[in-house]
A and B are shown apart, each in its own frame.
Chain A
């Protein structure tokens, strides 16, 4: 399969709560990226973490990477209704192509 797995597939939380999304992939990677997509829109790049990094922060986002388990997580703290979107992880598969995970649909209730 071209895609990795993400869980949960869908997540519904209250505003102010934290949201955690997980991603697993299949091959060795050079880097892993997280993207956000609002319904029917293009992708917004959130954060890139390299294979030799274990954790990275950007504002309310925290990404971890465990290459031994071939997994990554995205944590959004103090979520807002505007965070409602689909979130995808993407890897380079050790090469040049970008391979997307199945995505998590996050719904933040106001």
Chain B
């Protein structure tokens, strides 16, 4: 299957700083990328959907000024957590989709663990 990478795999930062997480599709062009967050022992919650070259669509309750998403190319999307606080500590997972036949297949990155001190 297609490969999606995330960088960094884990990051620790101080409260008030901003952190950027990259999501790359390595061997296919991703028309759409999704960003999820996952709290310990919980499920994945969709944060936003981003299409290359356009503004991201955020899910209800997700602050777009807090979680900045840029999808500048068909292989790269970035999530920037601005002015991070300890409650932003979470596991962030991206996924990317191209098309395969009539069903859009979604490929997940390995996740980024963010710890805000």
Contacts and interface: CB of A to CB of B under 8 A. Distances in A.
B95 A2 contact: no
**Majority SS at the chain A contact face:** loop
A99 B113 contact: no
**Majority SS at the chain B contact face:** strand
Interface stretch (B12-20, B79-87, B104-112): B104-112
Interface residues of A, number: 22
Contacts, number: 50
Interface residues of B, number: 24
Interface in A1-24: 2-3
A2 B103 contact: no
Contacts of B72: none
B104 to A, nearest CB: 7
Interface in A84-106: 88, 96-103, 105
B109 A2 contact: no
Interface stretch (A42-50, A60-68, A75-83): A42-50
A103 B34 contact: no
7 contacts: A2-B59, A3-B45, A40-B113, A42-B108, A42-B109, A97-B49, A100-B36
